Amino acid sequence: MYDTIFSMELPVGEHIKLLRNRISNTEDIKNSSRMSIVTGIHGDEMEGQYICYELTRRIENERDKLKGVVDIYPAVNLLGLDNAIHTIPKERLDMNHIFPGSPDGSMMERVAYALIEDIAGASVCIDVHGSDIFTRESLQVRINEEFAAGLMEYAKLMPANLIWKNPCPSVAASTLVHSMNCIGVPAFTVECGVGNTINTKYGDRIVDGIFNVMKYFGIWEGEAVHHDDTPVCDDSSIDFMRADKAGLFINSMNKFGRVKKGQCIGKIIDVNKNEVVQEIIAPNDGILFTVREFPMVYEGALLARILVQEVEK
């Protein structure tokens, strides 16, 4: 059942709304385990939209197995999604930098605050992101180092390619998951794909993981989906490969996975001079899990990330 949990009037004949799809077989919400799935904080990340659809479809197919409450927030940055813009369109602010929001702040700060208030008390919260349009990401769980110990057992339920403990922007202070963890709701981020597209294979795996988490919290009585142990890493165990030169990045890797030290990941070419200005070579054996998607690069642009060493299993 879709509820409007927050609404504000835009200037010309429209309201901005924060919608929640609540799926439950019980009226006793307060005493039930509750999972919150949030998507659409960034308007160019579409992966979560498919996940909302697929999760709902699979629950409805076996509705009698649902023993708790699943709350889905499909479009938090509604205007960003509608315009395929990463940020809040008018202010050009990253919405994942304004949590926990404010009851008397700007319109989107109020949306952020309303979301936090609505999720408060949940058993667990998963914030589903896609990547932006610049890099392609393999399926990963991101957790803030500050809360990593308490989140690890939930993160490991996701059939991801890696679990990354880091203070990167998607899990740092002023993000949704940080704010939720601060008020006692275990929360982590799932990230995959590339901006403005949907990868249904990743989407299906994320939904599998969501069912695993639901089962862990007694929200779902179906079977768990088994998967291999997921490597866990932090920033110290990742090679970050960035552009030293401006130009066009030509990707040599057509899939994620193991790479050998010395293997060519791609090259940067200067179209004007018709020459290769930088070859991107893997400095170590490892697992490629991020690669540049948008060809044009300036010095500093992220080209690839390679997991070179696991912190723990």
Partner 1 sequence: MRQVEVFRIKSPYRDDMVVHGYTFGKGQEAACIIGSMRGTEIQQTYICSQLVKRLVELEHNGNISANKKILVIPTLNPYALNTSRKFWGVEDEDINRAFPGREMGKTNERIAKRLMDYVKDYTFGIQFASFYVDGEFMPHVRMMDTGYQNTSLANLFGLPFVVVRKPQPIDTTTLNYNWQNDMTAAFSVYSGYNETINEERAGQSVSAVLRFMTRMGILRYDCLSGYISHVINEESLTNVYAGKGGILRRLKDIGKEVKYGEPIAEVIDPFVGEVKETVIAPTDGIIFFQQREPLVNESDVIYRIVRRIHE
Contact indicator for 251, 271 with CB cutoff of 8 Å: no
Q: What is residue 244's three-state secondary structure? A: coil
Kindly state whether residue 8 participates in binding partner 1, applying the rule CB under 8 A.
yes
- H or E segment to which residue 113 belongs: helix 107-119
> How far is Cα 19 from Cα 85, in angstroms, rounded to an integer?
19
- When the beta carbons of 8 and 264 are compared against partner 1, the nearer one is 8
Decide if 97 contacts 50 (C-beta within 8 A).
Answer: no
Residue 67 engages partner 1 in binding (rule: CB under 8 A): no
CB of residue 96 to partner 1, shortest distance in Å = 11
Q: Does residue 243 contact residue 290 with C-beta atoms inside 8 Å?
A: no
Contacts (CB under 8 A) with partner 1, residues 246-265: 246-248
Question: Taking CB under 8 A as the rule, does residue 302 contact partner 1?
Answer: yes
Q: Is residue 168 a contact residue for partner 1 (CB under 8 A)? A: no
Please name which of 132, 154, 136, 135 lies closest in space to residue 87, comparing C-alpha atoms: 132
The footprint of partner 1 on residues 262-291 (CB under 8 A) is: 270-272
In the complex, least distance from residue 140 CB atom to partner 1, rounded to whole angstroms? 19
Single-letter code of the amino acid located at 159: P
**Which CB sits closer to partner 1, 168 or 198?**
168
- Provide the token pair at 290: 């991020």
Q: Mask: binding to partner 1, 182-221, rule CB under 8 A, as x and -? A: ----------------------------------------
User: Using the rule CB under 8 A, is 245 a contact of partner 1?
Assistant: yes
- Among residues 297, 302, 304, the alpha carbon closest in space to that of 283 is found at 304
Q: Is 98 in the site for partner 1 (CB under 8 A)?
A: yes
Q: Is 160 exposed, middle or buried (0-12, 13-18, 19+ CB in 10 A)?
A: buried
Residue 93 touching partner 1 (CB under 8 A): yes
Piece in contact with partner 1 (CB under 8 A), picked from 32-40, 118-126, 145-153, 296-304 = 296-304
86 within 8 A of 51, measured Cβ to Cβ: no
Out of 297, 304, 306, 308, which residue is the one contacting partner 1 (CB under 8 A)? 297
Interface residues with partner 1 (CB under 8 A)?
8-13, 16, 86, 91-93, 97-98, 104, 106-107, 110, 134, 172-174, 240, 242, 245-248, 270-272, 294, 296-302
